[in-house]
Amino acid sequence: MNENETTATPREHGYRGAVACQAAGISYRQLDYWARTGLVVPSIRSASGSGSARLYSFTDILVLKIIRRFLDAGVSLQNIRTAVEHLTAKGVASLEQVTLMSDGVSIYECSSSEEVYDLLQGGQGVFGIAIGKVLSEVEGTLVTLERDSAASDSDELAARRRAKEAEVKAV
């Protein structure tokens, strides 16, 4: 390899249909249908006649894999199409910053712990709870309470334990 040549990362390559299918876990028939109907159009090179090869980008394959996961979860292709169109129209440049969730009926976009949008209801906000954040809050509160309890040792459970220990020692 020449010093001036650089190795392209997987995100910079163009991938033929067969490779895109393998990576996304879909059939070539699905790939062809989705390309013809505009669900996922190859962004590097579209087919330009008989025998020409479509080339898919890393992001195209990522979207194909996401579609496959939603199909496996029971979401209809019509709802998936609406969600993909919403994300495309919104101009989500970096999909790495987005978490998509589904209950099998609807698809939700979560771009932060406070923002969750129902993509099938025109971006309507829905209530969400970041469990990790709540878990940390509860842990912190319990640590503080344990310290306070150990210092005072006057809670009801501690009093019962001391009484029970005194009974056992008396017997």
Mean pLDDT of all residues in the chain?
Answer: 76
Q: What is the pLDDT of residues 22-35, one digit of tens each?
A: 999 999 999 999 99
Domain positions in the chain? 9-72, 74-128, 132-170
Q: Length of the chain in residues, anyone?
A: 171
Q: Which CATH number fits domain 9-72: 1.10.1660.10, 3.30.70.141, 3.90.1150.10, 3.40.50.800?
A: 1.10.1660.10
Q: What is the pLDDT of residues 83-124, one digit of tens each?
A: 888 777 766 566 667 788 887 778 888 877 777 778 777 655
Nearest one of 83, 128, 131 to 105, comparing CA atoms: 83
Whole-model pTM over 0.75: no
Secondary structure E strands in 23-115: 99-102, 107-110
Burial (CB count <10 Å: 0-12, 13-18, 19+), residue 138: exposed
